[in-house]
Chain A
Amino acid sequence: MATATDSPTTEVGAVQEFTVTLIVRRFNPEIDAEPYWQDFDVQMFSTDRVLDALHKIKWDQDGTLAFRRSCAHGICGSYAMRINGRNRLACKTLIKDLDITKPIYVEAIKGLPLEKDLIVDMEPFFASYREVQPFLQASSKPTKERIQTIEERARFDDTTKCILCAACTSSCPVFWTDGQYFGPAAIVNAHRFIFDSRDDQAQVRLDILNDKEGVWRCRTTFNCTEACPRGIEVTKAIAEVKSAILRGKP
């Protein structure tokens, strides 16, 4: 049986430790007139995520730092933040993958009303989500299982992955302008039901999105596709809804 050898100090794959500066955009509506940037130095390991750095700040340095947290594993959709100018999930972004020689900028997502520190009011986002009727509407009564082929299921597989984190919608320059646009996330969730063979109300959703503030405001800047932490091809899904409206059917 092989015996363990003395490991050299710079073992490949070893967990590195480093100090990194986080610059967080703070805002307390009860005190501050304007948001401001505050820096924190934190000791991190190469296995740590931006969320761990925020935890370290909140638990060890400044307990007033406010951010949403739920599952911490990329599913609940609470952690969308603008990290170094790009929308990412703090719970999925490893600090070692960012440039740690420079400070890491963390701020709330844009285009939604800022409530405190990294927390925004998600209600406008969910309002347009609700408006596209994101639930299965089958006209037949549920007397038996609704069979679907593998191909029919694959048609909308990509858009089932959405976790409603708002990273896409809050990266969209059209949504930034006046917030009236439905936004990528609502269209993605409409796509998920429009192309579902078990659903019978595709036409209703297509009519809702064939609107002044609907899919036609999309300028295909691809910010949403780049921002999506789930890798959904958001701009492609929007384009598919556009062509479904032009065809008049899914």
Chain B
Amino acid sequence: MTTTDVTIDSPRSPHARTRRGINLEKWGWLYMRISGVFLVALIFGHLLVNLVLGEGVSQIDFGFVAGKLADPFWQWYDFFLLWLALIHGANGMRTIINDYVAKPQVRRILHGALLASTGVLLALGTLVIFTFDPCPAGADPALIASFCGDL
């Protein structure tokens, strides 16, 4: 009895999906997990310092915020909180748009609006964090905080 080499063809040709560069879905999913871990620590640290330590919730006023934003540590703390949380939220909004909007045109418009608003908020927030000046020189004393006169 002789044996012959039998090659069985695949039931159908292999799946040919067009390659489209990097796949953002995988990185988006990963980003949500990693940023989520950091955000838990950052948010609870933020709440603890603002609402519990010191005089508690009653301490929050313009001077308290101005004091925090004068410290490079809190500038960078708020910077990471802003970027991680806003991108996290925007990516969540993106998945909700993908779920609920079936029309490609509407989807594109909403994605564009989301991208634009996120970009503007990130830029504005970063600008405020690093350039905030509670007592701008030469401003009308009636418009600025009362403690500016003491400085």
Of the listed stretches B24-32, B70-78, B116-124, B128-136, name the one at the interface; the rest are far from the partner chain.
B24-32
Taking CB atoms and an 8 Å cut-off, the chain A residues in 170-216 that contact chain B are 174, 177-178, 201, 204, 207-208, 210-212, 214, 216
Q: What B residues does A246 contact at CB under 8 A?
A: 26, 30
CB distance from A187 to the nearest CB of B (A): 14
Contact, CB under 8 Å: B15 / A210: no
CB distance from B41 to the nearest CB of A (A): 22
CB distance from A245 to the nearest CB of B (A): 7
Q: What A residues does B7 contact at CB under 8 A?
A: 141
| B14 on interface, CB distance cutoff 8 Å | yes
| A242 on interface, CB distance cutoff 8 Å | yes
Q: Which of A131, A142, A242, A245 contacts B8 (CB 8 A)?
A: A142
Contact, CB under 8 Å: B15 / A216: no
Given contacts A177-B99, A178-B102, A211-B17, contact A141 B26 (CB under 8 A): no
Given contacts A141-B6, A216-B29, contact A211 B23 (CB under 8 A): yes
Contact, CB under 8 Å: A174 / B15: no
CB distance from B130 to the nearest CB of A (A): 34
Q: Could you tell me how many residues of chain A have their Cβ less than 8 Å away from some Cβ of chain B?
A: 22
Cα(A246)–Cα(B15), bound, Å: 21
| A37 on interface, CB distance cutoff 8 Å | no
Given contacts A178-B102, A212-B25, A246-B26, contact A137 B10 (CB under 8 A): yes
Contact, CB under 8 Å: A245 / B17: no
Given contacts A137-B10, A141-B5, contact A131 B15 (CB under 8 A): yes
Q: What B residues does A135 contact at CB under 8 A?
A: 11
Q: Which of A141, A177, A210, A242 contacts B23 (CB 8 A)?
A: A210
| B44 on interface, CB distance cutoff 8 Å | no
Q: Which of A133, A208, A216 contacts B26 (CB 8 A)?
A: A216
Contact, CB under 8 Å: A242 / B29: yes
Cα(A250)–Cα(B147), bound, Å: 63
Cα(A246)–Cα(B7), bound, Å: 33
Contact, CB under 8 Å: B26 / A210: yes
Contact, CB under 8 Å: A211 / B25: yes
Contact, CB under 8 Å: B5 / A245: no
CB distance from B98 to the nearest CB of A (A): 8
Contact, CB under 8 Å: A174 / B17: no
Cα(A201)–Cα(B29), bound, Å: 24
CB distance from A136 to the nearest CB of B (A): 10
Cα(A229)–Cα(B138), bound, Å: 74
Cα(A207)–Cα(B10), bound, Å: 18
Taking CB atoms and an 8 Å cut-off, the chain B residues in 28-48 that contact chain A are 28-30
Cα(A178)–Cα(B25), bound, Å: 17
| B100 on interface, CB distance cutoff 8 Å | yes
Contact, CB under 8 Å: A142 / B15: no
Q: What A residues does B28 contact at CB under 8 A?
A: 216
Q: What A residues does B98 contact at CB under 8 A?
A: 217
Q: Which of B8, B11, B99 contacts A174 (CB 8 A)?
A: B99
Q: What B residues does A214 contact at CB under 8 A?
A: 25
Q: What A residues does B8 contact at CB under 8 A?
A: 142
13 contacts across the A-B interface (CB closer than 8 A): A131-B15, A141-B6, A141-B7, A177-B99, A207-B17, A208-B15, A212-B23, A212-B25, A214-B25, A216-B25, A216-B28, A242-B29, A246-B26
Given known contacts A204-B15, A208-B17, A216-B28, what 15 new A-B pairs fall within 8 Å (CB)?
Answer: A131-B15, A141-B7, A174-B99, A177-B99, A177-B102, A178-B102, A210-B23, A211-B17, A211-B23, A212-B25, A216-B29, A217-B95, A217-B98, A242-B29, A246-B30
Q: Which 9 A-B pairs have the closest CB atoms?
A: A216-B25, A177-B99, A216-B29, A178-B102, A212-B25, A208-B15, A210-B23, A210-B26, A135-B11
